[in-house]
A and B are shown apart, each in its own frame.
Chain A
Amino acid sequence: MTTSSLTYGEAILSGFRYLLSNYPEVFVIGQGLWSPWYVGNSMTGLDKEFGQNRIIDSPVSELAVTGAAVGASLCGYRPIVVHPRMDFMILATDQIVNQAAKWSHMFGGQAHASVTVRSIVNRGGEQGAQHSQSLHAWFAHIPGLRVVMPATPEDARDLLIASVLSGDPVLYIDDRWLYEIEQEVSPIVEKNLRTEGPKVIRTGTDCTLVGSSYATQLCVEAAAHLEKQGVSCEIIDLRVVNPLIFDEIISSVEKTRKLCVVDGGWSACGLAGEIIAGICEKTAPSLLESTPVRLTLPDAPAPTSGPLESTYYFQSDDIVAAVLRLVSKRVGELSR
């Protein structure tokens, strides 16, 4: 199998190319698709290659555009809607939560909204509270809506393809902070989204680190540092956060008996809490040797000023520090 090196952004682009070339029922609609600045290098040239009838740059109408994609999906198409900032997608919530996610169930499985909503997390750079949110936990709460968060170039490409081909409504969340990450990727093989889930991307024995999207990459950096300090971390990249498959996380924690969850969302009712709760429910009470830890954003909107931003967003150093405390303490000893 020949591999090639792709950045995350290029990998998304290649996923789009693959879908548009092989599936005439795929089209893309959203804001900024004909211009480079909204979506980085992830869609460059698609409108020229596939025509502006299949790559549709839209009015500033998140709700109607998302609804139109859902409507077209009910008529046999597999549209991808692009929301260049997840914050803007909130205006389309009715169509995602009330319509697409419910369609199969409320009509007795006779129709499915085979729509993919691509939502981009784009934060930092002093863009402030309304250009920064990672709201995956909100949407992962909704039965009927699959939520996918690729952390690597290969997943960015392959899970995009799997999302569009899944037949279900899928929220595919990619992150601008990942776009330059490079990886050797294998040739495309179509995957079944139903069976894709969390994956061990690094094996280790002392502590389980769970992350998704950009947080996974921070875990990778942190694990490298921790290894130098004699702590061996196992990393689980969640990849698909709804429906969430727990098997890999459970077996990893059964091995390491320590759990640290890193999440780019907030803590309240969030993904990190969900992982910890799931482990508490699904394993023996005596399994964990240390109180589990979650690393999330402070419970505050994203600030604008640079110095505040650098406190607000955790770095791999913060993960290193959290894991060092975790591995040195026993259950109940950990403060916070």
Chain B
Amino acid sequence: MKNRIEGLGGLADPQLFNETLEISKWKQETLLQQLKMMLIIRGAEEKLAEGTVAGKIKCPCHLGIGQEAVAVGVSTNLRSTDRVFGAHRSHSHYLALGGSVEGLFAEVLGRVTGCSKGMGGSMHLYDGARGFMGSVPIVAATIPLAVGAGLAAKMDGRGDVAVGYFGDGAAEEGVLHESLNLASSLNLPVLFVCENNFFASHLHIGLRQPSDSIARFAEAHHIPNEVVDGNDVVAVTGAAARMINRARRGEGPSFLEAVTYRWKGHVGPSDDIDVGVKRNQDLTKWKGRDPVRRLAKAMQEKGFLSAERFSKVQEEVSTFINAAWMKAEQGDFPDQAALLDLVYFRKDEKR
């Protein structure tokens, strides 16, 4: 595997890596599903932005518009018995596993019909049945949880893997180092996925770290790593496949650094504005690396997708999202009793 720990180089340059995707090795069916999923994620996040502007959503929503290809590429290789942990910007991680859009909306609206029963909001998403084990906003906190899930998977011996998503900012927390060391020492089936979008709230990575490459930490712990264009769903899918297959074969952890960019501010619906930081020029360039457009374009050029079919898919997705929103708004709020009833393991359950 290629190792670019000396720095991201061209991958960090939004003018590069905007060519048509190389999709000839991939099944039309898979690509269409990936495209649809990216549209769903984007549509859902745009809907959340709208709901926030309209004053219907109060909880902080960290939108990942522009970063859809990472979760979609990784999830393409996962099965429901794998275990995935996210962080504060995890709508895509949850949705890409097939998590319910209505469940997400209802959760963000604080309804009991939400994916965390209205107890979590945008920063606490859960879908155990699909392997989404939870996302929490303490930066880096889920990294060791994914290592533990990997330990559990190894003990189970069924070839399942654990995935931990985190950002470049999380690499500044000491627990990343402890977790990489532990996963490497115990040879655990863990895929560490760093979505490097260059920012941690308002601060650029250049002001936070001596290198813009996060995979260098994996290198230090002898963990195989790849750095990919995170806006190229096919590149992410391929790299994740190699890593997940290694883990399933018992060959231990790997580290995927996906270089990407978020189009919105750190939190909330505003375009571009990051707690006092405007990035207009860079953002315009990064939009040239739009993961959705690049896949759609490649599919059209290959003749996998006609222009009409594409508009039809877009329309279907938008109808679906609107319907999910309307249903979510009708959900009830949690019962007051939930406040105390959910603190401990429920009495009516086996123990």
Contacts and interface: CB of A to CB of B under 8 A. Distances in A.
Interface of A: 27, 53, 56, 58-59, 61, 63-77, 79, 94-95, 98-99, 102-112, 114, 143-144, 146, 165-168, 192, 194, 243
B152 A107 contact: no
B143 A107 contact: no
Given A71-B144, A167-B349, A146 B136 contact: no
A77 B128 CA distance: 15
Given A27-B155, A61-B181, A64-B182, A166 B148 contact: no
Nearest to B124: A106
B334 to A, nearest CB: 8
Contacts of A94: 138, 141, 175
A72 B182 CA distance: 14
A111 B343 contact: no
Contact of A167 (B156, B174, B186, B351): B351
Contact of B117 (A70, A109, A146, A167): A109
Contacts of A108: 112, 114, 116-120, 126, 334, 338, 342
B154 to A, nearest CB: 9
B40 to A, nearest CB: 23
Interface string B336-351: 0010011111110101
A72 B341 CA distance: 24
B186 to A, nearest CB: 8
B117 A71 contact: no
Nearest to B341: A109
A25 to B, nearest CB: 9
9 contacts: A65-B178, A69-B148, A74-B145, A105-B119, A107-B117, A109-B342, A110-B116, A167-B351, A168-B344
Given A99-B141, A107-B124, A110-B126, A71 B151 contact: yes
B133 interface: yes
B42 interface: no
A68 B186 CA distance: 11
Contacts of A243: 344
A245 to B, nearest CB: 13
* A-B residue pairs, 3 tightest by C-beta: A71-B148, A67-B144, A108-B117
Contacts of B116: 106-108, 110
Nearest to B347: A194
Contacts of B185: 59
B87 interface: no
A33 to B, nearest CB: 14
A71 B149 contact: yes
Interface of B: 83, 85, 112, 114, 116-120, 124, 126, 128, 133-134, 136, 138, 141, 143-153, 155-156, 162, 174-175, 178-179, 181-182, 185-186, 334, 338, 341-347, 349, 351
Given A53-B155, A58-B182, A63-B174, A71 B147 contact: yes
Contacts of B143: 64, 67
Given A67-B144, A111-B126, A144-B343, A98 B136 contact: yes
B151 A72 contact: yes
A79 B151 CA distance: 11
A109 B346 contact: yes
A167 B348 CA distance: 12
B134 A111 contact: yes
B141 A107 contact: no
Residue of A63, A65, A73, A79 ringed by the most chain B CB atoms within 10 A: A63
A107 B162 CA distance: 19
B175 A67 contact: yes
A103 B112 CA distance: 17
A104 B345 contact: yes
Contact of A61 (B138, B148, B182): B182
B126 A107 contact: yes
A108 B181 CA distance: 32
Contacts of B174: 63
Contacts of A111: 126, 128, 133-134
A58 B183 CA distance: 11
Contacts of A102: 136
Nearest to B107: A108
A64 B150 CA distance: 13
A30 to B, nearest CB: 12
Residue of A74, A79, A146, A166 ringed by the most chain B CB atoms within 10 A: A74
Residue of A64, A103, A194 ringed by the most chain B CB atoms within 10 A: A64
A119 to B, nearest CB: 18
